């Protein structure tokens, strides 16, 4: 065997030895390439999983047609009201001026501001305007009756919109209010509609309603 034949034989042997390793390496590279999309898909799934949290944040915002009338900034805005206790926060909302006057008349400002984790169903000025003026004036002049009506609008826990779907809650007046609805549409005692709900103050969740609730 001459030197040329020896060289060719050596090359053939080397190729035979190295070929399986080369194929194995290609196979591993192919596996890695296939694994990459899987990992990417996992990452994508993780991103998708965060979407419900985003939706939850959205659902935790105030809702309802009357919310459009709330100032965009300042003490009367949603952000401003969240910093103050409920009676103070309400005093900065022009649509609740009659309620605030009634709360002051009944001497309940400190009671409401110092309470912890409460819900207030807050009637608008238009809600009070549904009551004949003579009757309203009579109620405002009777502190005991006024206190009874106002405390009937307060529940001793923070209620989420979900809890209003079909709820029954004891009030500070010791009566009971019932709620029903879903999404952004809720009724209280079948008589009042929530027109701006889930408004946060420093110590309360507020649901602004279009009718004054009357205890039985």
* Mean pLDDT of the region 1-29: 43
Q: Does pLDDT of 171 surpass 90?
A: yes
pTM flag (> 0.75): no
Model confidence at 45, pLDDT cuts 50, 70, 90, reads very low
Residue with tokens 């080397």: 14
Length of the chain: 216
Of 88, 64, 67, 87, whose CA–CA distance to 78 is shortest?
67
3-state class (DSSP) for residue 111: helix
List, for residues 66-102, the tens digit of each pLDDT value: 999 998 999 999 999 999 999 999 999 999 999 999 9
Phi/psi for 168 (5° steps) reads -145, 120
Of all residues in the chain, what percent carry a pLDDT higher than 90?
70
Strand order in the sheet with 185-188: 154-155, 118-123, 204-209, 192-200, 185-188, 176-182, 166-170
Q: What is the pLDDT of residue 59?
A: 59
Q: Does pLDDT of 10 surpass 70?
A: no
Q: Which parts of 39-113 are beta strand (E)?
A: none
């Amino acid at each position: 065997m001459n030197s040329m034949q020896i060289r060719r034989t050596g090359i053939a042997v080397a190729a035979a030895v190295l070929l399986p390793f080369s194929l194995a390496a290609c196979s591993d590279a192919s596996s890695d390439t296939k694994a990459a999309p899987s990992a990417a898909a996992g990452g994508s799934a993780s991103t998708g999983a965060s979407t419900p949290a985003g939706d939850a944040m959205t659902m935790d915002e105030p809702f309802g047609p009357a919310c459009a009338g709330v100032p965009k900034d300042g003490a009367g805005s949603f952000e401003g009201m969240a910093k103050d206790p409920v009676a103070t926060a309400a005093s900065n909302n022009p649509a609740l001026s009659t309620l605030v006057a009634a709360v002051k008349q009944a001497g309940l400002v400190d009671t409401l501001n110092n309470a912890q984790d409460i819900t207030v169903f807050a009637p608008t000025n238009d809600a009070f305007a549904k009551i004949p003026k003579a009757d309203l004036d009579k109620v405002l002049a009777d502190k005991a009756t006024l206190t009874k009506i106002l405390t009937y609008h307060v529940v001793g826990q923070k209620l989420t919109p979900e809890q209003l779907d079909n709820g029954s809650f004891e009030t500070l007046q010791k009566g009971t209010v019932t709620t029903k609805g879903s999404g952004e549409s809720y009724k209280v005692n079948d008589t009042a509609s929530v027109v701006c709900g889930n408004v946060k103050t420093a110590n309360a969740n507020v649901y602004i309603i279009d009718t004054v609730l009357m205890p039985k």
